[in-house]
Structure 1
């Protein structure tokens, strides 16, 4: 089955809205692993509006499954990842003012930069995944950077699936098949939910990991965090 990595950014957003430490981010990270999640994801941004850089440090002894840190590899982010040494770093081309991730890398245009960053992380024993759109040229470009994995940006799929258009999965199938041919590991994330995750998993060959935050936390408000984590695990089998 594909692994479930729970993105806990929204827990940090809720905490920061009142100050203090409620909800307790570290406790939630421990809990989602106890409930069965095989990983924890965070995505710190330069303004620290949700996950703070110190959170990334504090989570190191808490995350005993896979620790995935996402972000735009500015120097401060690179230094944070090298300090905390997560299992995986996912490179995402976020603008500083982006509300959320909204595009994958142009792996051809930014090849030399991504090669340099990827090499630095790999030399420190950190697996590298590159966030890409389901574009075959971008998948091939990711291989040239030296990354071990790609993460498919799934917002377009989720949107089309919500409209009843199951053919929106086709570009992702093609990208997944190419990744397999190239020997790239395959992750996916963005707007995946209980409504669409089973269909996505059933149609995407070689899917190793999904990172889910916004939908999972929203669903947990109604259904409970333990219950929702296990619902995802069942759908990912």
Structure 2
């Protein structure tokens, strides 16, 4: 028959954040994240509904690009089992046998890890891509959760939990004054960018999916998630 009623629901983290009764609504998203869409249609013969889980992703944290050379990355949310080890996350990347690595605070250097090393938010990973060209990786994420990471005096490898660029003083608020500066490695130029310095230019953006080095002046706890 002919549909004469439409009821749209847009959900984020299981909560309804927008609705519409228009046939073809326009929805403006102001908060980054992964959204589910439900549509119910009705007429005098009854109703029918369909739900598309994780159908819309808002924010640049949904994917990242691996370039030729060194790449420092992090995941902005917990990932599903299909991406929960470094070998799964970087599947298809031609590493030329160069091991994956994480930054070790005690050793003050990148240290190699095995292929089954777990992928966790708030931690920086390093991967080498041998061949020319770019590869785009789009992980599947797990909704919700709060994560913490203990950081020690000196250099640590971190990521931020955000789906869009976030000022450093916001992304690192849980650290207070315990940090001095952060460094970002640019995979396109294969060089380090100018650091973000606390109290000087910490309103500059940090980016989701980037693996950073952060210098701590005292021990601290990095907290991310919702």
Which TM class, normalised by the smaller chain length?
A: under 0.3
Please say which structure displays the higher CA radius of gyration. 2
Q: Which structure features the higher share of helix residues? A: 1
> What is the TM-score of this pair, normalised by structure 1?
0.26
